[in-house]
Amino acid sequence: MESSVKTDSKGRKKVYNACMEPCAIEKGMRLIGGKWKGSIIYHLKDEPVRFNDLSRMLGGATKKMVDQRLKELEEEGMVIRKVISDRPIAVTYELTEFGRSALKILDDLKVWSETHNIEISK
């Protein structure tokens, strides 16, 4: 269904099966999986948070990353951006109802992760 054909540098045809019928899990993972994305949602769970505060909370994510992820989350309808003042500019991000609906999963994941005391190899 979802396939594209490209020709590589050596003139060979290549068929890219983008992702035929990706199961719901893969779809869901694209929304809340991916680096920082789940964490961002989770850190917005209680109240609107300002851009730089969010960056600091994530401790390790660059502004670029945070910015990028927030834009994705906005497009997906999980987060709303609000300008609360110009000069000096201040912006907050908060969850939509849809965003909120993902919190349970993220919280379960957090608990699961903590109880199994997961160590990162690399």
- Between residue 54 and residue 113, which ones bind DNA under the rule CB under 7 A? 60-65, 67-68, 70-71, 81, 88-92
CA dist., res. 54 & res. 63, Å (int): 9
Q: Which of 80, 64, 73 is nearest to 40 (CA)?
A: 73
> Pairing mode, if any, of strands 3-7 and 79-85?
unpaired
Q: Which of 6, 13, 21, 47 binds a second copy (CB under 8 A)?
A: 21
For residue 27, state whether it binds DNA (rule: CB under 7 A). Answer: no
Place of tokens 């990162």: 120
Q: List contacts with a second copy (CB under 8 A).
A: 17, 19-36, 38-39, 42, 59-60, 75, 98, 101-102, 104-106, 108-114, 116, 118, 120-121
